[in-house]
Chain A
C-alpha cells in the first residue's frame, strides 16, 4: 500500500517534470527549414530519469525516518543484554570486584553503540570490537606501506595521496578546535600559512633546514593561535566564525601586500625538500620519502590527538562544547581550555604548513585562501565531528575524489557539491559518529574508603 503510494507520488513528479521541461527539451524550432521538430525520446528520458531519482530519494528519506525508530529499538535490546549479562555474572563481579568483567564490558559497548548511532550501527560495531577492526587495520597499514612500490603508483598517484595525508593532519588539528572544543573556526588556513611561511622565510634568511624548521613552524603557529585566541575568548558560534574568518583574511592580505617581508604575490620559490642524511634523491624517490614522512607525521598526530581526546583536557573541551556555563560552574577554566584548544589546533596546522612548503618547494599567498579553510572544515564536518576515523575518511574522500573525478573534468565540482548536499541531508552527523570512551572502574562496594 505504502509502496504503491510512493510509486504514484513519483509518477506525478515525473509527469510534472516532463511538463516543465517540455518546451525546452521536446520542442525545437528549426529556423532554417522552418519546421517544428518534436523530440519525443527526450521526453521519455526526462520522465524515466525524474521518476527514478524521485523514487530513490523518497526511499532513502523513508529509510532515514525509520532508522531513528530502529535505533531506539536496538538500544532497548542492548540494555536488556547488559542487564542479562550483569545478572549472569554477579558471582564473577563479586569475587574479582576490581574491574568490569570482560563480558559485562562487551555488553556495555554493544549497548552503547546502537544508542549513539542512528543510521549505521555497523561501523560503530566494528570500531568497538578489537577482533573486528584489528585485521582491517593490519591490511590497511600493509597497503599503506606497500603503496608507493605498487605498479600503478606513479609519482602523481603518490603525490595526491600525500596531499590527502596532509589534509588528514589539518583535519585532525581543526578537529580539536571545532569537533572537540566546539569553536567554529573559519580561519584555520592562516596557521597553515604561518607554518609554510615560517619554513620559507627561515630558509631564505638563515638557511635553516626542514627538520629544524618543523618544530619552529609549529611553535610559531601555536603562538599565533594564542594571539588569535585572546580576543575571541568571549565569542561563540557565528561571531567567532566571522572573527576567525577576518583573521585569516588579514593574514593572507598581509602576506600578499607586505613585499619586504613575504615577497608579495610572487611568493618564495626554491625551498628545499626535506633531506635524509644528505642523500641524493631523484624526484620519484623524494616523493616516496615525503609520503612516508607524512605517514609518520599522521600517525604521530593520531596518537597525540587520541591521547588528548581521552584525557582530562579533552574531556574539558567536550564539556565546553556541550555547555559553557555548566562547564565553568564545575570548575573548568574556560579561558585555559579555549586557549589550549586554539594553540594545539594551530600547532598541527603549523606542522602541516612546513611540510606543504617543503613538498611544493614554493609558497605564495594564493595557496591560503578561504576556500582552503572551508575545505578543511568540510573534511571535519563530513567525516564526523570529534571522530578521528571520521576525519581520516573525510580527508580521503574530499581530497581524492576530485582527483579521480578528473575524468568527468568540468562536472567534477558539480558532483562534489552534490555529494556534500546529499550527505548533509541524509547523514548530518558525519560519516562516523564520535563514540565516547568507556572507562574501567573499581567497584567501590568492595571497600568504602577509596574516596579521598
Chain B
C-alpha cells in the first residue's frame, strides 16, 4: 500500500471505484459545507475537494478536506499550480497529510482570467506534471523537490487529471503516459459526453499497456438541463458535448430534463463498468450533491464495498 487510503484499497481490491466531488464554500460557512457533505456519506469512496475551482476564491481545499474528514468522508485533496509556488505546495501537502489526508489530485488549474480576481498573478512555478513528480518524490524518496530529507514523509495516493477530448487528440494518450511516469497512481478524466472518443482513447491506453499501470476513473457529470448542456458545449474550455446529448435533452419535457440527464449518466456508467481499462467513475455532480444518493442508486453503485 502506498497510502492506505480507502480509494487505494478499493482500487487495489479490484472493486469498481466511485468518487464524488465537493466544492468548498465562498466563505467560512461550515454549515453549508456540512450540508453538502451529508448526502455524499456512504455513497462514494472518496470526495474530491476542489481548489479554488474556476479560479474563484473559496475556502482552502486542505481546510475543507479537514471538515470532510470530520464529516466521515475521505477527501481527495485537489491542488492546482496556479496559486502556490513549490514551497507553499510542499508545506500544504505536509500539513494536509499530518491532518489525515491520504489522496491528492494534482492539477494545473484554470487560468486566473476566468475567475473572480482576473488581475492576479498566476504562479505556475511548476506544472501539474512536475507537481506529480514532486509528490511522488516526497512519498517514495522521502525528499523535498530540492533533494533534502523529509522528517516523516507524506504517504499519499497520487492522482492526476486527463482530458481525452482536448486537441491534439493523438498526443493525449502520450501525455497520460507521461503523467503515469511522473507519479500518477490514478487518473480522473474530464467529464465525458463523447462516447466514441472515450472508447478510442481507452483502446489506445489499453494498447500501450497504460491501463495496467494506472487506475482510470471516468468522469461523469449529469446534465441538469438543456441550458447546462448548451453552456458546457459552448463555454467550458476543453469540453466535448456532442449534438446527440443536446438532442436527447431537447427531446423531453423541460421538467424531465434533469431526469433524462441522470438517465444518460447511468447509461454511461453501465458501459464504463464493462469497459476494459476503466477502474471506476468519478461523479462530478456540480452543485447537485443532494442528488448523489439517487444517482448512485440508479447507477447500481450501492452499496459501496467495505475495505
A binds B: no
